[in-house]
Amino acid sequence: MQSLSLYLMAFVYVAAGVNHFIRPKLYMAIMPPYLPAHSELVMLSGVAEVVLGIGLLFPATRSVSAWGLILLLVAVFPANVYMATSGRFRKLPRWLLWARLPLQGLLIWWAWQYT
């Protein structure tokens, strides 16, 4: 079960990272206005997710990658807060926008399992 969880986590992050390049407008829309260089930050976070997701697959880099994902999840949390509070995302149910916030804690816990 531990291996399945690890492979699933790696897949989720690699897929999410690749999605930053396929649908960058989606990610740029959730960037808080006070952050600079939205496009560059979206691309950087996409690269980070791909690299860290792949890094989970190798025992030598697994712990560093898990810590990197934890830091990344903390770093992107303001974007999730902005998405929930800005009122710009009316097409999505409010409960779903707010549910993303505690989901970050669950994702951090999941990554912690591999530190």
pLDDT at site 90: 87
What are the structure tokens assigned to 26, written together?
């989606």
- Which residues have a Cβ under 8 Å from the Cβ of 22 and sit 6 or more positions away? none
Please tell me the total number of residues recorded for the chain in this structure: 115
Residue 33: CB atoms within 10 Å? 8
Three-state secondary-structure class, residue 58:
coil
* Predicted TM-score (pTM) of this structure: 0.92
pLDDT (average), residues 15-31: 96
- Which residues have a Cβ under 8 Å from the Cβ of 58 and sit 6 or more positions away? none
Encode pLDDT of 44-99 as tens digits: 999 999 999 999 999 999 999 999 999 999 999 999 999 999 988 888 899 999 99
pLDDT at site 12: 98
Give the whole-angstrom CA distance, residue 25 versus residue 22. Answer: 9
pLDDT bucket at 21, cuts 50 / 70 / 90: very high
